[in-house]
Structure 1
């Protein structure tokens, strides 16, 4: 089993209110040369949590941090016109993300929770995940 030291939160960088699926993200990532979807979990608007890449396999979601991390992505993250970052999480997504991160921290208590933006010059996940989840 991989040693998990980080849980990294992402957004799909898609327009507010437009639903996308694990299958959509898988297609986007494969078109970029990935073997499969790069995230381990994806949270839909309704708060359902969907499996992406198996946790046993290193992700493809944060350059230089994939070997020892779990990638969690919520659908959304941009304004409806897709021109600017925006925290578009629905109340259901917020709750599901919180519960998923708590669950993952129970499994990997030494892992730190960060946002993709903590490692790359991006707005992703369109909110400060490190600050929001500091108490988990």
Structure 2
């Protein structure tokens, strides 16, 4: 088994008003020359978690970090006008939180980061600041995933 010390969160960089299935993602990655989806997991808008790549296999999602990371992508990341935005549904937030907790149990001590957090530290001050991001993906601070409040339970009514 690979040594894992990073859980890298991505967005699919697709508009919130458009459907982008795991099959669309796989097809796009194959067109780019990948051997399949570059991510290990994909989270659909309805919260479904799709396993795309075996954990034993290095991903193709964060150059320079694939050998020791797990790639998790959520559907969306662009608003209705095609601008980067946190478009996660409550279902996606919940599924992402559950998946990250499960992976941290299996890979204790791993850091949870967004793809943008792996950008180069251009001013060498020890922080990756917004002006240094290569891209805004995943359009939210990945370190806060476990801090998000749980979504309301629609089955529970006052």
Q: What is the TM-score when the length of structure 1 is the normalising length?
A: 0.94
CA contact (8 A) 1:113 1:134 kept: no
Secondary structure of the 2:81 match is coil
Question: 1:99 is matched with which residue?
Answer: 98
Question: Who is 1:110 aligned against?
Answer: 109
Cα distance in 2 between the residues matched to 1:27 and 1:45: 19
Counterpart-to-counterpart distance in 2, 1:63 and 1:70 = 12
* Aligned residue pair count: 133
Aligned to 1:8: 8
1:133 aligned partner: 145
Root-mean-square deviation (CA, aligned residues, Å) is: 1.1
Q: Corresponding residue for 1:79?
A: 79
* Distance change in 2, residues 1:4/1:47 (3 Å): same
Q: CA deviation at 1:17?
A: 2.5
Question: Is the 1:41–1:49 contact (alpha carbons within 8 Å) kept by the matching residues of 2?
Answer: yes
Distance 1:94 1:21 in 2: 18
For 2:42 and 2:17, the matched residues in 1 are separated by 16
* Structure 2 residue ranges without an equivalent (≥5): 120-133, 148-158
Determine which structure has greater relative contact order: mean sequence separation of CA pairs < 8 Å that are 6+ residues apart, divided by chain length: 1
TM-score scaled to structure 2, two decimals?
Answer: 0.81
What are the residue-to-residue correspondences of 1:18-33 with 2, within 5 Å?
18-33=18-33
Displaced runs of 4 or more, over 2 A: none
Answer whether contact 2:96 2:145 (CA < 8 A) is retained: no
Distance of 1:48 and 1:119 partners within structure 2: 26
Give, in angstroms, the shift of residue 46 of structure 1: 0.7
In the TM superposition, residue 134 of structure 1 has moved relative to its aligned partner by 6.5
Cα distance in 1 for residues equivalent to 2:57 and 2:87: 29
Matched, 1:123 2:136: yes
